[in-house]
Amino acid sequence: MRHLSQLSALLRKDILIELKSRETVISMLLFSLLVLLVFNFAFEADSAAIKKISPGLLWITFLFFGVLGLNRSFTLEKENDSLQGTLLAPVDRSVIYLGKFLSNLLFILLVELITLPLFTLFLNVDLLSHIGKLLPILLLGSIGFISVGTLFSAMAVNTKMREIMLPLLLYPISTPAFIAATKCTSAILRDRPIESYSNWLNILILFDVVFFVTSFLIFEFVVEE
């Protein structure tokens, strides 16, 4: 019960800060718009090629703005050493990880959901008619990416080049989740049955479980000096 109340306090604090500053969601959304705009000019919207590569483009967009959000996640804790204030309280370190993971997931999923119709609009790829099947993949892909991203964001925040360090650490590790999510998205957009991408789906689920549990357990050692 104590853990739940602390988790709720951590989550509420992050949401409150975001509601006041709007820095994370707005910057991710603007970045997402810019990426889509670049893709729109780089590729012909009606070409067959874009239908083929659209799942990859979609997940690249998510990875790009996701890093922005993750970078911001612990940067705000750096000012006034606020994270240390939280660490001084009798809070299990894994609860702090969970709070950060959930707030990151919330903000990134929100921007992903806004990006889907924009992606359809800019690149003329119908994502919305597949939304029922796409949403679980979106959630699973984001969970994997954010599990590792939250941990690496906590690690990178104490380095001099944190903006560079996070993608350098995060992109290689999250590649299996990225590929699996792209393959699943591709199969869904081609109206393939679930059996045709179940292996990729299993890889995605396995990635989520392994990296969420690992990050949850080792977060304590990352935040301790």
Partner 1 sequence: MSYLKVRSLSKNFGHLKALQDVDLELEKGKSIAIFGDNGAGKTTLIKIISTLMNPTSGKIFVNDLDLTSDGDKIRKSLGLVSHSLFLYSELNAIENLRYFGRLYGVGDLDDRITNLLGKFGLLPRMYDSVRTFSRGMLQRLALARAVIHKPDFLLLDEPFTGLDRSASQLLMNYLEEHKAGGGTSLLVTHDLQRGFESADQLAILSEGRMVWKSDSSSLSLDEFKKVYSKNVSEGV
10 or 154, CB closer to partner 1? 10
- The residue within the footprint of partner 1, chosen from 2, 52, 190, 192 (CB under 8 A), is 2
Binding residues for partner 1 restricted to 30-89, rule: CB under 8 A: 76, 79-82, 84-89
DSSP of 74-140 = HHHHHGGGHHHHHHHSS--HHHHHHHHHHHHHHHHHHHHHHHHHHHHHHH----GGGHHHHHHHHHH
Stretch that binds partner 1, among 11-19, 31-39, 63-71, 124-132 (CB under 8 A): 11-19
CB closer to partner 1, 10 vs 67 = 10
Asked whether position 20 contacts partner 1 by CB under 8 A, the answer is: yes
Q: Is the dihedral of CA 4, 7, 9, 15 positive or negative?
A: negative
Site size toward partner 1 (CB under 8 A) is 28
CB nearer to partner 1: give 2 or 190. 2
Cα distance from N-terminal residue to C-terminal residue, the chain? 28
Taking CB under 8 A as the rule, does residue 91 contact partner 1? yes
> Considering the rule CB under 8 A, would residue 160 count as an interface residue with partner 1?
no
What are the angstrom distances between the C-alpha of 200 and each of 133, 149, 181?
14, 21, 7
Does 8 participate in binding partner 1 (rule CB under 8 A)?
Answer: yes
Q: Cβ(181)–Cβ(54) under 8 Å?
A: no
Q: Are 59 and 134 contacting, i.e. CB atoms less than 8 angstroms apart?
A: no
**Angle formed at CA 163 by CA 26 and CA 175, multiple of 5 degrees:** 90
Q: Nearest approach, Cβ of 2 to partner 1 (angstroms)?
A: 6
CB 139 within 8 A of CB 147: no
Angle in degrees, 0-180, between the axes of helices 131-156 and 162-189, rounded to the nearest 10: 170
> Considering only residues 4, 49, 90, 195, which one is a binding residue for partner 1 as defined by CB under 8 A?
90
Binding mask 185-204 for partner 1 (x = CB under 8 A): --------------------
Contact residues for partner 1 (CB under 8 A)?
2, 5-6, 8-10, 12-13, 16-17, 20-21, 76, 79-82, 84-92, 224-225
